[in-house]
Amino acid sequence: MHRHMIKFNELQPGDYVYAQYEGERWEGIVNELNSEDKEVCVQTDVQDFWFKPEDLLPIPLTEGELFKLNFEKELNGNGSVKYKKGPFRIMLDKEDGFGDFEIWYREDRRHIKQPISVHQLQNHYYQMTKVELGRN
């Protein structure tokens, strides 16, 4: 499956991505953006390193990733699933239904109609709550 590249303007510091270099792949956090050279500094377990956007891959959003971001899971009787972090909600019609789901925070409700990646959820979360979504 060919994974789409990440557009430079989609990235914010704090976003989680995969970075690849010479066939190796690491999970890392975007530390810094250099818009002049369109380069992204990603902090991995190894070190901070500058990458071109084409060397970055999105991390698909899954339940496991939500748990890493400290979401709590709630199963509803009708088969739907809710993930909660404070007042922020992610609502799936069915288990693993990450292709069509709703996110909401107070009055702001958004319907997501295709699978998204972790950094895209982080960006929605930040736009909606003005708080960064991280793993701590």
Per-residue model confidence (pLDDT) at position 136: 76
Residue where a domain terminates, one of 16, 42, 57:
57
Task: Provide the whole-model pTM.
Answer: 0.92
Contacts of 45 (CB under 8 A, 6+ apart): 26, 28
DSSP letters, 10-63, are G--TT-EEEEEETTEEEEEEEEEEETTTTEEEEE-SS-EEEE-GGGEEPPBP-H
Same domain, 53 and 77: no
| Tally of domains within the chain | 2
The identity of residue 113, as a single letter, is K
Let me know if residue 123 belongs to a domain.
yes
Looking at residue 1, its pLDDT comes to 38
Q: 27 lies in which domain range? A: 8-57
Residue segments in the chain with a per-residue pLDDT below the cut of 50: 1-2
Q: Is the residue at 2 inside a domain?
A: no
